[in-house]
């Protein structure tokens, strides 16, 4: 009840004045749909109300279940869905019927429609295979992959076909009225690390920027997709704003900036909190300078062995920053111990409920009231 009252008060304040601290810009795609532009403006407004919580593959599977309609580990614990729903498009490039984690793409489309209907946010990552070697995203055996997919490269034509397949899926995301559903698209993530074929030591700065810009131009220009907000997302190994922006493709190609950071088993809570807090300071400064949203685009502690992790490590890491959302990774149904959100009976369940009840955290019920897709 207390959280609901605070939410109602914040909505009244939001309609009476604009208290945004970030210089806003319109979508990077100058031809973005009305709904996509409204989403971006709504996300800026929501960032002034609190931090949205997100969960990867929340509707697809969880601990002890897979693919039933309406299920969610977050909802099983709190009675509410997350505000942000992460999904991955890996293997769409091959026109596969399921993604790299065996989630059917037809189910994914249905989930997108459900989330849209209740005013939630969808964000897509893309663990795309290595086109030069035929292996997966993590194949870093060659430093020629990015060059090979750029114009003039030996794999450029094949890469265009992969983008065609991606675009076909993204274009199919429509509601019952035929409206293109706006989503956040987060390609080429964790590029400051060197574990993906587009990573720091696997391609040059110039090649990465060219890859990003070609992807943007091809999807928005060649394929006429105008329901995408683009997210630039580094790894957590950031020491300065200059380093963070080294491979930034430019304001005309990005809508949201963020980074991914996970707590490692051999690191304490204090290390996680301090490092996330430090990097968020860098990222939010860059966001304010460039008029972009900021987010903790991936995070978590595998297995969540600490019963108070949510309120003593996760929340303290971000509470002093203006960010759009913080998303934790998936709860694998077929990989014991590989989970990042609690479920009924999990050791951190009660602490997560405390985190949920904070007036500054936003879940689906609050986001529905905020109506981020309404034009103002």
Distance CA 370, CA 362 (A): 10
* Tokens, residue 333: 């149904």
Nearest alpha-carbon partner for 161 in 184, 128, 208, 190: 128
- What is residue 274's three-state secondary structure? helix
CB atoms closer than 10 angstroms to residue 247: 22
Q: Which residue has the tokens 């070697």?
A: 133
Residue 289, C-beta contacts closer than 8 angstroms, at least 6 positions apart: none
Catalytic center residues: 190, 298
């Amino acid at each position: 009840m207390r959280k609901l009252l605070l939410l109602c008060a914040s909505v009244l304040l939001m309609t009476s004045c604009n208290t945004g601290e970030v210089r806003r810009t319109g979508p990077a795609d100058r031809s973005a749909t009305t709904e996509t532009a409204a989403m971006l403006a709504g996300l800026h407004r929501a960032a002034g109300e609190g931090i949205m919580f997100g969960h990867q593959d929340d509707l697809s599977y969880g601990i002890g279940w897979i693919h039933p309609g309406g299920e969610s580990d977050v909802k099983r614990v709190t009675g509410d869905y997350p505000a942000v729903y992460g999904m991955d498009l890996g293997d769409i490039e091959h026109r596969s019927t399921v993604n790299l984690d065996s989630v059917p793409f037809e189910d994914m489309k249905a989930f997108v429609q459900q989330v849209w209907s209740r005013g939630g946010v969808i964000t897509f990552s893309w663990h795309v295979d290595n086109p030069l070697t035929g292996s997966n995203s993590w194949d870093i055996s060659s430093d020629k992959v990015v060059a090979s997919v750029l114009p003039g490269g030996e794999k450029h034509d094949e890469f265009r076909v992969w983008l065609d397949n991606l675009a076909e899926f993204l274009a199919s995301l429509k509601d019952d009225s035929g409206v293109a559903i706006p989503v956040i698209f987060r390609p080429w993530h964790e590029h400051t690390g060197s574990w993906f074929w587009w990573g720091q030591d696997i391609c040059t700065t110039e090649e990465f920027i060219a890859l990003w810009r070609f992807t943007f131009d091809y999807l928005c220009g060649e394929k006429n997709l105008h329901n995408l907000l683009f997210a630039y997302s580094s790894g957590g190994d950031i020491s300065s704003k200059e380093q963070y922006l080294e491979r930034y493709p430019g304001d005309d190609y990005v809508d949201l900036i963020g980074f991914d950071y996970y707590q490692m088993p051999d690191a304490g809570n204090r290390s996680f909190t301090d490092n996330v807090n430090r990097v968020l300071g860098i990222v939010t400064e860059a966001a304010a300078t460039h008029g972009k949203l900021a987010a903790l685009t991936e995070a978590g502690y595998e297995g969540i062995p600490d019963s108070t992790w949510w309120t003593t490590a996760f929340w303290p890491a971000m509470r002093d920053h203006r960010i759009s959302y913080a998303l934790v990774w998936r709860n694998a149904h077929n990989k014991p111990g590989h989970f990042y959100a609690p479920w009924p009976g999990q050791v951190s369940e009660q602490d997560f409920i405390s985190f949920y009840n904070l007036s500054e955290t936003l879940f689906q019920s609050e986001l529905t009231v905020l109506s981020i897709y309404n034009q103002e």
